[in-house]
């Protein structure tokens, strides 16, 4: 196919006004949490490790599964560890597990990308269908000077604020973000963690008889030395947060 024809077809697939499209998607993303009810859900996370991850041989070994109860109270997220490998636990924090843990990816990921302070640069990439919804896919990039992404090495507490880039998958009709990726960039060679990535899918869940767009699946990876860790999370069992929900805040 001639290059000129390929470019013409690509132009037809793109939104007519990309700046206006992104501006509307940004408005929806940044007001996302304000539209949500107080809720509780379960987050099941399977943890894996590839001991030769720096060579990208793709062989992951499963380590364990932990279950947290995620509570959103209209302002903040709280993660309470409730089970390890299916066995209930009490009075044990998520941080006490050691290794790579996943939390804080509910609404913060959207802010990393769409907040005005991030000054993300967007470029249309393609279109795709996600769960019967037509989406426009945009590449984006945030430089280190405007980054809000801090990578922390748990053993030493050493931290680095990194640049990042990725993709956002935006519903063409509603302008809701249905999927996003965040990949760290330009981490200094001497830092203990060489790379991080996150993929987050949103889906619709019923809470109190109403449908809301909420976290569905998450895949978080981190390369430290030769080890590539992978946390695969699934969110489910959404319900309203009520006084009798037996939730403990830390």
Range list of β-strands (E), the chain: 39-50, 61-72, 77-84, 87-88, 121-130, 133-142, 150-152, 159-161, 163-171, 177-185, 193-207, 210-224, 227-240
In the structure, what pLDDT confidence band is assigned to residue 194 with cuts at 50, 70 and 90?
Answer: very high
pLDDT score of 101: 82
In the structure, what pLDDT confidence band is assigned to residue 3 with cuts at 50, 70 and 90?
Answer: very low
pLDDT at 5 > cutoff 60: no
**Which residue would you say has higher pLDDT here, 246 or 40?**
40
Instruction: Walk me through the domains of the chain, giving residue ranges and CATH numbers.
Output: 16-240 (2.50.20)
pLDDT at 144 > cutoff 90: yes
The string of pLDDT tens digits covering residues 89-139 is 998 988 888 888 877 666 778 888 999 999 999 999 999 999 999 999 999
As a whole number of angstroms, the distance between CA 137 and CA 184 comes to: 19
Which residues partner with 150 through β-bridges? Answer: 161
Instruction: Kindly report the pTM of this predicted structure.
Output: 0.85
pLDDT at 7 > cutoff 60: no
């Amino acid at each position: 196919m001639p290059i000129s024809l390929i470019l013409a077809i690509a132009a037809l697939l793109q939104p007519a006004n990309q700046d206006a499209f992104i501006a509307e998607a940004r408005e929806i993303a940044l007001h996302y949490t304000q539209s949500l009810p107080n809720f509780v859900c379960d987050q099941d996370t399977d943890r894996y490790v590839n001991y030769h991850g720096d060579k990208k041989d793709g062989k992951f070994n499963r380590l364990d599964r932990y279950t947290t109860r995620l509570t959103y109270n209209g302002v903040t997220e709280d993660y309470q560890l409730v089970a390890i490998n299916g066995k209930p636990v009490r009075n044990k924090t998520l941080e006490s597990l050691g290794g790579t843990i996943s939390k804080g990816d509910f609404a913060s990921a959207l802010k990393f990308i769409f907040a005005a302070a991030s000054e993300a640069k967007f470029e249309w990439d393609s279109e795709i269908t996600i769960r019967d919804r037509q989406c426009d896919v945009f590449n984006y990039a945030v430089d280190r000077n405007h980054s809000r992404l801090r990578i922390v090495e748990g053993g030493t507490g050493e931290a680095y604020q990194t640049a990042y880039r990725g993709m956002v998958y935006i519903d063409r009709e509603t302008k809701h973000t249905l999927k996003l990726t965040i990949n760290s960039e330009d981490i200094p060679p001497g830092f203990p963690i060489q790379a991080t990535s996150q993929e987050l899918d949103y889906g619709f869940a019923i809470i109190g008889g109403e449908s809301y767009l909420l976290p569905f699946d998450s895949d978080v990876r981190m390369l430290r030395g030769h080890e590539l860790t992978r946390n695969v999370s699934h969110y489910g069992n959404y319900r309203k947060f009520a006084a009798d929900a037996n939730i403990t805040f830390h």
